[in-house]
């Protein structure tokens, strides 16, 4: 996984009004969660703020990053866990990070990369990707930037499900029956199949020289 450095400052004002003022100043409210629990046994968050300019390169990218956070001089290694956007403007409102270490496994969505030209596509079908990411579990040092899936042998009407996939050093935690990709029938492929069927039906029948043919030949010679 790629790594990126992000610096932030702790914040004590946690209300909606304070968060709104932060955004006006170009700052995004963030929380960092980890192993630490509060008195009620719930995850305890470290609240901080990061300039939007620094978060843009982490949020608006197809890549998965390990984020090296510097919060008032304290170092934390984390991944982005949840993003909150404005429902109308789509502006970034809030980010939750989750602290990680080299020993503990984490569950994270990794982009799927389909490799090869599917046989079904060669036959006129269309390859459709149903999910863009697979959830996998492993220590973060073992997690790749993408998951390559070979679709070369996939024919029209066939799918690849999460339960059929395996990757070295990773546990796939996406439900086994979730369809990852499918080769769908197209109108062109259906028309070609129908035309091939008609051609077979209308082709001349060649008689073999079996007993009926031999008998017919003998009768004609009399």
- The pLDDT profile of the chain, 222 residues, written as one tens digit per residue, is 889 999 999 988 788 888 988 999 999 999 999 877 776 767 778 999 999 999 998 999 888 899 999 999 999 999 998 999 999 999 999 999 999 988 889 999 999 999 999 999 999 999 999 999 999 999 999 999 999 999 999 999 999 999 999 999 999 999 999 999 999 988 776 666 666 666 556 566 544 444 555 554 555 555
What global pTM score does this model have? Answer: 0.72
Cβ count within 10 A of residue 28: 25
Structure-block tokens of residue 84: 């909150």
Alpha carbon 164 to chain centroid, angstroms: 15
CATH 2.170.120.20 segments of the chain = 107-196
Give the domain 2-100 fold: Ribosomal Protein L25; Chain P (2.40.240)
CATH 2.40.240.10 segments of the chain = 2-100
Tell me if the domain spanning 107-196 has CATH number 2.170.120.20. yes
CA 27 vs CA 7, 22, 48, 92, 210: distances in Å: 12, 5, 10, 10, 89
């Amino acid at each position: 996984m790629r790594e990126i450095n992000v610096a932030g400052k702790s914040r004590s004002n946690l209300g909606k009004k304070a968060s709104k003022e932060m955004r006006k100043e170009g700052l995004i409210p963030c929380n960092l969660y980890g192993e630490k629990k509060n008195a009620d046994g719930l995850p305890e968050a470290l609240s901080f703020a990061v300039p939007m300019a620094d978060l843009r390169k982490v949020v608006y990218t197809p890549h998965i990053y390990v984020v090296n956070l510097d919060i008032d001089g304290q170092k934390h290694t984390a991944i982005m866990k949840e993003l909150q956007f404005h429902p109308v403007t789509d502006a970034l409102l809030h980010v939750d990070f989750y602290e990680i270490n080299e020993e503990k496994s984490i569950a994270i969505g990794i982009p799927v990369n389909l490799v090869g030209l599917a046989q079904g596509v060669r036959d006129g079908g269309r390859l459709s990707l149903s999910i863009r990411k697979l959830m996998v579990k492993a220590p973060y040092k073992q997690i790749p930037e993408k998951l390559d899936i070979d679709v070369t042998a996939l024919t029209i009407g066939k799918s690849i499900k999460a339960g059929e996939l395996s990757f070295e050093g990773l546990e796939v935690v996406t439900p086994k029956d979730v369809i990852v990709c499918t080769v769908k029938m197209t109108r062109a492929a259906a028309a070609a199949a129908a035309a091939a069927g008609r051609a077979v039906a209308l082709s001349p029948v060649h008689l073999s020289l079996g007993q009926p043919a031999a008998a017919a030949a003998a009768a004609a010679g009399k």
